[in-house]
Structure 1
Amino acid sequence: MRFVLASASPARLAVLRAAGVEPDVVVSGVDEDAITASLSNPTPSELVTALARAKADEVASRLNDDAAESVDTVVVGCDSMLSIGGEVVGKPGTADVARTRWKSMAGGTGDLLTGHAVVRLRDGAVVARAEGTRTTTVQFSTPSDAELDAYLATGEPLAVAGAFTLDGLGGWFVEGVDGDPSSVIGISLPLTRRLLAEVGVDVVSLWSARS
C-alpha cells in the first residue's frame, strides 16, 4: 500500500511520521481561490472539505495518468481554515493581515476546521472515496505587543491557517484546545483512521517499521 500526502505542509508530514506513517509527498496544483469562488455560499465545513477533495483528486488524477502506477495507493488531501467571529480565514499572507487577525482573536476562541479527503486507487483507477471535516475549538491567550511583533517577525504565522500554530512558536499563545489537537496541526489522526477504514485500508498496515 502506497500512502500519498497531497500537501506541502511540513506540519502534516510531521504528524504522520510521528504516528508511524512515512508518506510520499505529491503537492497538488489546484487553484484554491478559483475553487472557493466556484462555490455558492458554502458552510465553513463544506469549504474546507471541497478544497481537500480538490487537492486529493488532482494528485490522484496525476497518479492515474502514470502508466507505471499499478500499486494499491491511497491519497489524502487536507485543508484548514479558522472560523472566528463568523468569518472564515485561511493563511494571512502578510504581517499586517496576521496582526489584525491576532488583535481580533486574542483572549477569545476560534474554531479550527480541517477538511479531509481520501481517494483509493488500484491499478490506476479510483475504487473508493471518503471525506469529512474535524472542528476543534482553540482558546487563544493575549500576547503583548512586543510578543506579537516578535512572532510576526518570524514569518511563521503568515503561512498557516488562522495565523497561528499549535506545534510551533504559536503554541506559546494558545491556552488550550477543545477537541482534536492533531487536526489543529493540520491532519486529524482519528478522522483519517476512520476515512481510511471507509475505503478499506487498516491504518496499522501503513505503520513503518520501528526500531
Structure 2
Amino acid sequence: MTFVLASASPARLATLRSAGLDPVVVVSGVDESVLDGLPAADLALGLARLKCDAVAERAGSTGSEVPADALVLGCDSVLELDGRALGKPHSPAEAVARWEAMRGRTGVLRTGHHLRDLASGRSTGATASTTVHFAQVSDAEIAAYVATGEPLHVAGAFTVDGLGGAFVTGIEGDHHNVVGVSLPLLRELTAALGRSWTDLWARP
C-alpha cells in the first residue's frame, strides 16, 4: 500500500517515518488564502481537505506519483490565539509581533487531518488540538530566534522540535500534533476507513 503525504513539511515527513511509515511526498500547491476568515479548527481541517483532494485528483494520470489505490493524507496546522487563526508569518516583522503577543501566554495548536482511500473512494477527517504554553521570552531572544529564519516557515511561528523548543514551557495533548501530524488521530482515521495502522508500516 502506498501512503502519500500531501504536504511539503519536513517535520511531518520525519514524524511519519519515525512511526514506521515511508510516505511518498506530493506537494498539493493549493492556494491557502481561499479559506481565510474561518475559525481556526475549521480552517485547519478545510485546508487539509483541499490539499488531500488536490493530490488525490492526480491519481492515475500520466507520470503521476499517486497510485490509484493509495492512501492520501492532507494536513494543515494553525495556532489559535485570542480567537484568531495564525499560520506562517509573512515576514520577520510579523514573526516578532507574534512572539510579543504569545510570550508568557497559552495558545491552541490545531492540526487538520484529511485521509482519502483511493481504492474505496472513502475519506474521513478531523482536527486535533493541543494546548501550548509559551515562555516569557525576552526581546533579545525573540530577535535572535526570528533572525534564524525558523519561525517564518512554521504555523504559529514556533517549533517544539527545533530551536523554538526552549521557548515552550509545556503542552497539554499530543506532542506529535504540535510537530504537524497527530499519530493517534491518524491511526483512528485509518481504522475508520477499514485499514490497519500496522499495515502502513514499511517492511524491510
1:101 partnered with 2:101:
no
What are the Cα deviations for residues 143-173 of structure 1, in whole angstroms up to 9, with x where unaligned?
2222211111110001110000011100010
Q: What is aligned with 1:140?
A: 134
Question: Secondary structure in 1 aligned to 2:88?
Answer: coil
* Cα distance change on mapping 1:191 and 1:83 into 2, 3 Å: same
Counterpart secondary structure, 2:22: coil
Tell me the C-alpha RMSD between the 2 structures: 1.6
2:77 counterpart residue number: 80
Structure 1 unaligned residues grouped into runs of 5+: none
Alignment check: 8 A CA contact 1:56 1:75 kept: yes
Q: Secondary structure at the match of 1:205?
A: helix
Is 1:201 matched with 2:195? Answer: yes
Quick one: distance in 2 between partners of 1:90 and 1:67? 32
CA distance in 2, matches of 1:70, 1:162: 33
Which residue in 1 is equivalent to 2:45? 49
Q: Point out the more displaced range, 62-71 or 185-194.
A: 62-71
Q: TM-score, normalised by structure 2?
A: 0.94
Contact 2:21 2:200 in 1 (8 A): yes
SS at the partner of 1:65? Answer: coil
Distance in 1 (alpha carbons) for counterparts of 2:14 and 2:44: 21
Aligned pair count reads 203
1:26 corresponds to: 26
Tell me if 1:11 matches 2:7.
no
Distance 1:67-1:141 versus aligned 2 partners, 3 A rule: closer
Offset of 1:93 from its aligned partner? 2.1
Cα distance in 1 for partners of 2:52, 2:148 equals: 30
Rounded Cα–Cα distance in structure 1 between residues aligned with 2:142 and 2:70: 43
Q: CA offset at residue 127 of structure 1?
A: 1.6
Query: Using the alignment, how far apart are the partners of 1:72 and 1:87 within structure 2?
Result: 38
- In structure 2, the residue matched to 1:2 is 2
For structure 2, the residue ranges without an aligned partner over 5 or more in a row are none
- 1:186 positional shift: 0.2
Cα deviations across residues 102-134 of structure 1 (Å, max 9, x unaligned)? 001100100000000001112xxx521010000
What fraction of aligned residue pairs are identical, expressed as a percent?
51
Counterpart for residue 108 of structure 2: 111
Residue number in structure 1 paired with 2:168 = 174
Distance 2:41 2:83 in 1: 13
Contact 1:2 1:71 in 2 (8 A): no
Instruction: Verify the 8 A CA contact 1:60 1:121 in the aligned structure 2.
Output: yes
Contact 2:39–2:84, Cα closer than 8 Å, also in 1: no
Give the TM-score taking structure 1 as reference length.
Answer: 0.91
Q: Which of structure 1's runs of 4+ aligned residues deviate more than 2 A?
A: 64-72
1:92 Cα offset (Å): 0.3
